[in-house]
Amino acid sequence: MERIGEVYHIEGSVGESSPLFTVDLPNDEIVLIDLGKMTILSSIGIKNWISWMSMRPENCRLKFYNCPIVILDQASTVLGFLPRATSIESFKAPYLCDNCGAERLLDIKRGAEYEYTTTTAPMKIELPKSILCHKCRNSMEIDFIPERYLIFLKEPRI
């Protein structure tokens, strides 16, 4: 059984530097990274992220929580952004009310609303298409395209 190590909370923008890139990644351990308060990911941040990933110890597993949509976008389009032995365990899905303009981020969890491809089942995506607006009680529609941003689920993950 692998040891679950520390939980790191990353806040603000990830660019040329970020506390994320100084996290001391141990071998044979699961590291939990909470991106709930991350804001911007710049293009240099993406480049640094990929080199940070490539220097990861071989048996270090990374689990990401509360990911903003930008992380899903990169995971689905950029090779090496979230390589083998990493996984997105939860993310924040944006919803928008057409009636009053209210916005909301809904917590979406692996195993509930989505799952990676497994040896026995294809990837699963079951996000609510709409939710009740907390301000005007009309319906809020999902404000991104799950089928496009969740392509990364095609690669099986532990």
For residue 97, the minimal CB distance to Zn ion (Å) is 3
Half-sphere exposure of 117 (CA within 13 A, CB side): 9
Q: Per-residue string for binding with Zn ion, 119-158, x by CB under 5 A?
A: --------------x-xx-x--------------------
Range list of β-strands (E), the chain: 3-14, 29-41, 60-65, 86-88, 90-97, 103-109, 114-115, 124-125, 130-132, 139-142
Please give the size of the binding site for Zn ion, defined by CB under 5 A. Answer: 8
CB of residue 143 to Zn ion, shortest distance in Å: 13
Rg of the chain in Å (alpha carbons): 16
Instruction: Give the nearest distance from C-beta 96 to Zn ion in angstroms.
Output: 9
Residue 75, interface with Zn ion (CB under 5 A)?
no
Q: How many CB atoms lie within 10 A of CB 62?
A: 20
Could you tell me the smallest distance in angstroms from the CB atom of residue 59 to Zn ion? 48
Smallest separation, CB 69 to Zn ion (Å) = 20
Closer to Zn ion at the Cβ: 123 or 132? 132
Q: How far, in Å, CA of 118 to CA of 120, rounded?
A: 5
According to CB under 5 A, which residues from 87 to 126 bind Zn ion? 97, 99-100, 102
The whole-angstrom separation of Cα 136 and Cα 131 is 12
- How far, in Å, CA of 149 to CA of 102, rounded? 22
CB-wise, 134 or 154, nearer to Zn ion?
Answer: 134
Residues near Zn ion (CB under 5 A): 97, 99-100, 102, 133, 135-136, 138
